[in-house]
Amino acid sequence: MGKYSSWDFKKRDHDAKVNMNGDASVQVDKRRGRICEHADICKGYLDDQFNQIEELQDEVSPNFVEEVVALFFKDSSRLLANIERVLEKYPRDFSRLDSLMYQLIGSVSSIGALRMKNECTSFRDHCSDGNLEGCKRSFQKVKREYTTLKQKLEKYFQWLRQAGPVEQATNSRK
Amino acid sequence: MATTRGGKVTGGDGSTAKPHVLAVDDSSVDRAVITSLLRSSKYRVTAVDSAKRALELLGLEPNVNMVFTDYSMPGMTGYELLKTIKESSNLRQIPVVIMSSENVPTRINRCLEEGAEDFLLKPVRPSDVARLCKRVLH
């Protein structure tokens, strides 16, 4: 996430309809950078909790969403690496695996990553069943969801940055 | 100068000082979120990553008006932090809110019985935080 330098949210008081790369036009509340409610990139992947995080971005914390997402990626990659290591070295240590996944679920829920959360929960179910194969399968899915989520969020930030020059401004509020 | 510990805040000259809230959570994501939630309500916020650090700070700072703590933390848990605060003669007046991602009724009751102000399920909603702060701090 380090490649994302801070950008200035243009402080406009109106929503702007922006056409991005020929995709369906996306309504952007540019004061808050909120587009997830309207954009397909987030559907199913990020739930209302992510909107709450977008809501917290303001003049005092203009890069809040980016900062939280960066923290999330840092924490998650660390936890995923730990889980991978434990699966390799102490595969039947279900209690340790469960405890690590519990921590990961915490961050995942806080950011609103719904699909990833469901896979993480599946992993924990396999831990309680002592099902190692189940855990390994689930873990692959968790990693896939994580990669997809990263891609979606990268796209989200790209769209926000592209929303700089506004082609059409309307006075409509959401 | 604000000298009230815990709960409502008034300055010595009758003016109201900004309440100081301590947030305790080992997750950096959750710390960022709770801090932002509290700051947007205009409170002074200090966020620490462990109960141990929270107690260190409480020992040094005379004016913490409220504590929000995660339940599950490595080392000392939020419950143990709550107990320590409530058993201390100087700290027991400070309202403590426990946050947890797990909805376990026995856990919730145990915390409330130990003197927690309230128990919030994570991810915490801004409206819950605002409601609690309003009740406790104003």
pLDDT (0 to 100) of residue A13: 29
Average pLDDT, chain A: 78
Greater confidence (A135 vs A31) lies with A135
Greater confidence (A76 vs A167) lies with A76
User: pLDDT tens-digit profile of A61-87?
Assistant: 889 999 999 999 999 999 999 999 999
Q: How far apart are CA A121 and CA A125, in angstroms?
A: 6
pLDDT surpassing 60 at residue A169:
no
Nearest to B29 among A52, A58, A107 (CB): A107
**Rounded average pLDDT over A18-34:** 45
pLDDT surpassing 60 at residue A26:
no
**Rounded average pLDDT over A119-127:** 97
Look at the pTM and tell me if it is higher than 0.90: no
Contact B33 A61 (CB under 8 A): no
| N-term to C-term CA, chain B | 17
pLDDT surpassing 70 at residue A10:
no
pLDDT (0 to 100) of residue A139: 98
Q: How far apart are CA A54 and CA B103, in angstroms?
A: 26
Q: Cβ distance A104 to A127 under 8 Å? A: no
Rg from Cα positions in chain B: 14
**Rounded average pLDDT over A30-52:** 70
pLDDT tens digits, chain B, 138 residues: what are they?
444 466 666 555 544 678 999 999 999 999 999 999 998 888 999 999 999 999 999 999 878 999 999 999 989 999 999 999 999 999 999 999 999 999 999 999 999 999 999 999 998 988 899 999 999 988
pLDDT (0 to 100) of residue B10: 55
Q: Residue for token digits 């003016």?
A: B15
Q: Residue for token digits 């979120």?
A: B33
pLDDT (0 to 100) of residue A43: 78
Per DSSP, A14 falls in state S
Asked whether this complex has an ipTM greater than 0.85, the answer is no
Strand order across the beta sheet in which A15-18 lies: A26-29, A15-18, A168-169
Measure A24 CA to nearest chain B CA, in Å.
31
Put simply, the chain A residues between 94 and 133 with a CB less than 8 A from any chain B CB are 102-103, 105-107, 109-112
Percent of chain A topping pLDDT 90: 52
Chain B residues touching chain A at CB-CB below 8 Å: 27-30, 32-33, 36-37, 39-40, 72, 101, 122-123, 125-126
* Contact partners, residue A116, CB within 8 Å, separation at least 6: A108, A142, A145, A146, A149
3-class SS letters over chain B: CCCCCCCCCCCCCCCCCCCEEEEECCCHHHHHHHHHHHHHCCCEEEEECCHHHHHHHHHHCCCCCEEEEECCCCCCCHHHHHHHHHHCCCCCCCCEEEEECCCCHHHHHHHHHCCCCEEEECCCCHHHHHHHHHHHHC
Q: Residue for token digits 């426990």?
A: B98
CA angle, A113 then A115 then A117, to 5°: 65
3-state secondary structure of A26: strand
Contact B28 A71 (CB under 8 A): yes
Beta strands in A19-144 (DSSP E): 26-29
Structure tokens at A124: 């924990």
